[in-house]
A and B are shown apart, each in its own frame.
Chain A
Protein backbone atom coordinates (compact mmCIF):
# COMPACT_ATOMS: atom_id res chain seq x y z
CA UNK A 1 0.00 0.00 0.00
CA UNK A 2 1.32 3.46 -0.88
CA UNK A 3 2.06 5.78 2.02
CA UNK A 4 0.06 8.57 0.44
CA UNK A 5 -2.69 7.75 -2.01
CA UNK A 6 -4.50 10.05 -4.36
CA UNK A 7 -6.86 9.63 -7.27
CA UNK A 8 -4.62 10.39 -10.28
CA UNK A 9 -7.45 11.92 -12.29
CA UNK A 10 -7.48 13.74 -14.58
CA UNK A 11 -10.38 15.79 -13.39
CA UNK A 12 -11.80 17.75 -16.31
CA UNK A 13 -14.12 20.47 -15.07
CA UNK A 14 -15.63 23.62 -16.58
CA UNK A 15 -14.69 27.06 -15.34
CA UNK A 16 -16.63 28.00 -12.26
CA UNK A 17 -17.06 24.42 -11.07
CA UNK A 18 -16.30 23.20 -7.59
CA UNK A 19 -13.91 20.29 -7.43
CA UNK A 20 -12.78 18.16 -4.49
CA UNK A 21 -9.64 16.10 -4.15
CA UNK A 22 -9.16 13.37 -1.61
CA UNK A 23 -6.06 11.82 -0.15
CA UNK A 24 -5.36 9.10 2.39
CA UNK A 25 -2.18 8.37 4.26
CA UNK A 26 -1.11 5.16 5.90
CA UNK A 27 1.13 6.20 8.76
CA UNK A 28 -0.79 7.41 11.78
CA UNK A 29 2.39 8.99 13.17
CA UNK A 30 2.39 11.56 10.37
CA UNK A 31 2.59 14.99 11.86
CA UNK A 32 2.07 17.66 9.26
CA UNK A 33 0.18 17.82 6.03
CA UNK A 34 0.23 19.99 2.97
CA UNK A 35 -1.18 20.50 -0.46
CA UNK A 36 1.31 21.47 -3.12
CA UNK A 37 0.62 22.46 -6.67
CA UNK A 38 2.88 21.41 -9.52
CA UNK A 39 2.61 22.82 -13.00
CA UNK A 40 3.91 20.81 -15.92
CA UNK A 41 7.71 20.53 -15.84
CA UNK A 42 7.96 22.88 -12.87
CA UNK A 43 8.80 22.51 -9.21
CA UNK A 44 6.07 21.95 -6.59
CA UNK A 45 4.80 25.07 -4.88
CA UNK A 46 3.14 25.13 -1.52
CA UNK A 47 -0.57 25.77 -1.82
CA UNK A 48 -1.54 25.46 1.81
CA UNK A 49 -0.92 23.62 5.02
CA UNK A 50 -3.69 21.41 6.34
CA UNK A 51 -4.97 21.42 9.90
CA UNK A 52 -7.54 19.38 11.79
CA UNK A 53 -9.57 22.51 12.35
CA UNK A 54 -9.69 23.04 8.61
CA UNK A 55 -8.36 26.08 6.86
CA UNK A 56 -9.44 28.25 4.02
CA UNK A 57 -7.52 30.49 1.69
CA UNK A 58 -9.76 32.27 -0.77
CA UNK A 59 -11.33 29.68 -3.04
CA UNK A 60 -9.34 26.85 -1.47
CA UNK A 61 -10.39 24.89 1.60
CA UNK A 62 -8.35 22.09 3.12
CA UNK A 63 -9.46 19.60 5.73
CA UNK A 64 -7.72 16.94 7.76
CA UNK A 65 -9.35 14.01 9.51
CA UNK A 66 -6.72 12.31 11.65
CA UNK A 67 -9.01 9.51 12.78
CA UNK A 68 -9.67 8.49 9.19
CA UNK A 69 -6.20 9.50 7.99
CA UNK A 70 -7.85 11.48 5.27
CA UNK A 71 -7.05 14.86 3.73
CA UNK A 72 -9.16 16.87 1.34
CA UNK A 73 -8.86 19.93 -0.84
CA UNK A 74 -11.85 21.83 -2.18
CA UNK A 75 -11.53 24.36 -4.96
CA UNK A 76 -14.50 26.61 -5.58
CA UNK A 77 -15.19 28.69 -8.67
CA UNK A 78 -12.43 27.00 -10.67
CA UNK A 79 -10.28 29.18 -12.91
CA UNK A 80 -8.35 28.17 -15.99
CA UNK A 81 -5.19 28.99 -14.06
CA UNK A 82 -6.04 26.30 -11.52
CA UNK A 83 -5.11 23.66 -14.08
CA UNK A 84 -2.18 21.78 -12.57
CA UNK A 85 -1.32 18.65 -10.63
CA UNK A 86 -2.21 18.80 -6.95
CA UNK A 87 0.06 16.88 -4.64
CA UNK A 88 -1.00 15.64 -1.24
CA UNK A 89 2.06 15.71 1.00
CA UNK A 90 2.67 14.26 4.43
CA UNK A 91 5.54 14.84 6.81
CA UNK A 92 6.51 11.93 8.99
CA UNK A 93 8.73 13.33 11.66
CA UNK A 94 11.28 10.82 12.78
CA UNK A 95 14.35 12.69 13.96
CA UNK A 96 14.13 14.81 10.84
CA UNK A 97 15.69 12.22 8.59
CA UNK A 98 12.59 11.62 6.62
CA UNK A 99 11.43 14.42 4.43
CA UNK A 100 8.08 14.92 2.82
CA UNK A 101 6.23 11.99 1.35
CA UNK A 102 4.34 12.85 -1.79
CA UNK A 103 1.24 11.38 -3.25
CA UNK A 104 1.38 10.75 -6.96
CA UNK A 105 -0.77 13.80 -7.58
CA UNK A 106 -4.20 14.51 -9.01
CA UNK A 107 -4.30 16.29 -12.32
CA UNK A 108 -6.88 19.02 -12.76
CA UNK A 109 -7.82 20.46 -16.13
CA UNK A 110 -10.19 23.40 -16.04
CA UNK A 111 -11.83 23.99 -19.37
CA UNK A 112 -13.35 27.19 -20.75
Chain B
Protein backbone atom coordinates (compact mmCIF):
# COMPACT_ATOMS: atom_id res chain seq x y z
CA UNK B 1 0.00 0.00 0.00
CA UNK B 2 0.94 3.65 -0.28
CA UNK B 3 3.51 4.90 2.16
CA UNK B 4 3.31 8.55 1.11
CA UNK B 5 0.03 10.36 0.68
CA UNK B 6 -0.32 13.61 -1.24
CA UNK B 7 -3.35 15.88 -1.37
CA UNK B 8 -5.02 17.25 -3.40
CA UNK B 9 -4.42 15.22 -6.53
CA UNK B 10 -5.77 17.87 -8.90
CA UNK B 11 -6.18 21.62 -8.59
CA UNK B 12 -7.57 24.09 -11.10
CA UNK B 13 -7.64 27.71 -10.04
CA UNK B 14 -7.39 31.26 -11.24
CA UNK B 15 -4.16 33.17 -11.63
CA UNK B 16 -3.14 34.90 -8.42
CA UNK B 17 -4.48 32.19 -6.12
CA UNK B 18 -2.25 30.51 -3.56
CA UNK B 19 -2.39 26.73 -3.51
CA UNK B 20 -1.33 24.45 -0.66
CA UNK B 21 -0.28 20.87 -1.26
CA UNK B 22 0.13 18.39 1.59
CA UNK B 23 2.48 15.46 1.73
CA UNK B 24 2.13 12.90 4.49
CA UNK B 25 4.23 9.91 5.36
CA UNK B 26 2.06 7.03 6.46
CA UNK B 27 3.18 4.74 9.26
CA UNK B 28 6.70 6.11 9.37
CA UNK B 29 8.47 9.27 10.40
CA UNK B 30 10.20 11.18 7.66
CA UNK B 31 12.73 13.69 8.85
CA UNK B 32 13.38 14.60 5.24
CA UNK B 33 10.90 15.02 2.44
CA UNK B 34 11.53 16.21 -1.08
CA UNK B 35 9.46 18.27 -3.47
CA UNK B 36 9.76 17.77 -7.21
CA UNK B 37 8.15 19.33 -10.23
CA UNK B 38 7.64 17.70 -13.58
CA UNK B 39 6.66 19.50 -16.76
CA UNK B 40 5.12 17.52 -19.64
CA UNK B 41 7.54 15.09 -21.29
CA UNK B 42 10.34 16.17 -18.97
CA UNK B 43 11.99 14.48 -16.04
CA UNK B 44 11.38 15.23 -12.40
CA UNK B 45 13.30 18.22 -11.15
CA UNK B 46 14.06 18.65 -7.48
CA UNK B 47 12.70 21.91 -6.11
CA UNK B 48 13.60 21.69 -2.45
CA UNK B 49 14.48 19.45 0.43
CA UNK B 50 12.16 19.78 3.39
CA UNK B 51 13.65 19.16 6.82
CA UNK B 52 11.51 18.69 9.88
CA UNK B 53 11.92 21.55 12.31
CA UNK B 54 14.17 23.66 10.13
CA UNK B 55 14.10 25.70 6.95
CA UNK B 56 13.83 24.00 3.63
CA UNK B 57 16.81 23.88 1.30
CA UNK B 58 15.95 25.14 -2.15
CA UNK B 59 17.59 24.21 -5.42
CA UNK B 60 19.14 26.89 -7.53
CA UNK B 61 16.57 28.83 -9.50
CA UNK B 62 13.63 27.96 -7.22
CA UNK B 63 12.18 31.00 -5.49
CA UNK B 64 11.72 30.30 -1.80
CA UNK B 65 9.23 33.14 -1.41
CA UNK B 66 7.16 31.73 -4.23
CA UNK B 67 7.22 28.12 -3.07
CA UNK B 68 6.76 28.07 0.68
CA UNK B 69 7.63 24.83 2.40
CA UNK B 70 6.68 23.92 5.93
CA UNK B 71 7.68 20.67 7.61
CA UNK B 72 6.06 21.10 10.97
CA UNK B 73 5.93 17.45 11.98
CA UNK B 74 7.67 14.21 11.20
CA UNK B 75 4.80 13.08 9.03
CA UNK B 76 3.70 16.22 7.22
CA UNK B 77 5.29 18.62 4.79
CA UNK B 78 3.37 21.27 2.89
CA UNK B 79 4.19 23.19 -0.26
CA UNK B 80 2.35 26.43 -0.90
CA UNK B 81 2.53 27.94 -4.35
CA UNK B 82 1.91 31.61 -3.68
CA UNK B 83 0.18 33.86 -6.20
CA UNK B 84 0.25 31.11 -8.79
CA UNK B 85 0.49 31.99 -12.48
CA UNK B 86 -0.08 29.87 -15.58
CA UNK B 87 3.64 29.12 -15.87
CA UNK B 88 3.42 27.42 -12.46
CA UNK B 89 1.09 24.81 -13.95
CA UNK B 90 2.87 21.51 -13.52
CA UNK B 91 2.86 18.14 -11.81
CA UNK B 92 4.15 18.51 -8.25
CA UNK B 93 5.32 15.39 -6.46
CA UNK B 94 6.65 14.86 -2.97
CA UNK B 95 8.73 12.01 -1.74
CA UNK B 96 10.02 10.72 1.54
CA UNK B 97 12.55 8.20 2.59
CA UNK B 98 12.90 6.26 5.76
CA UNK B 99 16.06 4.69 6.93
CA UNK B 100 19.52 5.22 5.49
CA UNK B 101 20.01 8.12 3.06
CA UNK B 102 21.01 5.63 0.38
CA UNK B 103 17.64 3.94 0.57
CA UNK B 104 15.09 4.50 -2.16
CA UNK B 105 12.47 7.17 -1.84
CA UNK B 106 8.76 6.67 -2.01
CA UNK B 107 6.58 9.14 -3.85
CA UNK B 108 3.20 10.60 -3.22
CA UNK B 109 0.76 10.25 -6.08
CA UNK B 110 1.36 13.82 -7.19
CA UNK B 111 -0.68 16.97 -7.58
CA UNK B 112 -1.59 18.25 -10.99
CA UNK B 113 -1.82 22.02 -10.79
CA UNK B 114 -3.49 23.97 -13.56
CA UNK B 115 -3.57 27.75 -13.32
CA UNK B 116 -5.98 29.50 -15.66
Looking at the complex, which of A11-19, A60-68, A73-81, A94-102 is the stretch in contact with chain B?
A94-102
The answer to whether B102 touches A44 (Cβ under 8 A) is: no
- Contact mask for chain B residues 76-116; partner A; CB cutoff 8 A; 1 contact, 0 none: 00000000000000010101000001111111111010000
- The distance in angstroms between the C-alpha atoms of A46 and B46, with both chains bound, is 17
- Measured CB to CB, the nearest residue on chain A to B32 is A96
CB within 8 Å of A: which of B41-67? 42-46, 49, 57
- CB contacts under 8 Å to B, within A23-66, are 31-32, 34, 41-46, 49
B44 touches A44 (CB 8 A): yes
- Report the nearest B residue to A88, measured CB to CB: B43
B110, A43: Cβ atoms under 8 Å?
A: yes
Chain A to chain B contacts (Cβ below 8 Å), 29 pairs = A31-B102, A32-B102, A41-B91, A41-B112, A42-B109, A43-B6, A43-B107, A43-B109, A43-B110, A44-B107, A45-B107, A49-B104, A87-B43, A87-B44, A91-B102, A93-B102, A96-B49, A96-B101, A97-B49, A99-B36, A99-B49, A99-B95, A100-B46, A100-B105, A101-B46, A102-B43, A102-B45, A103-B43, A105-B43
- Which A positions have Cβ atoms within 8 angstroms of B? 31-32, 34, 41-46, 49, 87, 91, 93, 96-105
Indicate which residue in B45, B57, B101 contacts A93 across the interface (CB closer than 8 Å): B101
Q: List 4 A-B pairs, minimum CB-CB distance, nearest first.
A: A32-B102, A43-B107, A99-B34, A104-B43
A-B contact count (CB 8 A): 55
B108 and A99 contact, CB distance less than 8 A? no
What is the distance, in angstroms, from B61's C-beta to the closest C-beta of chain A?
A: 15
Partner of B42, one of A91, A101, A104: A104
Majority DSSP secondary structure for residues of B touching A: strand
Give the residues in chain B near A104, CB-CB below 8 Å. Answer: 42-43
CB distance from A8 to the nearest CB of B (A): 9
Contacts of A41 in B (CB 8 A): 91, 112
A42–B110 CB distance below 8 A: yes
Q: Please name all residues of chain A whose beta carbon is closer than 8 Å to the beta carbon of B106 when the two chains form the complex.
A: 46
Which of chain B's residues have a CB closer than 8 A to the CB of A43? Answer: 6, 93, 107-110
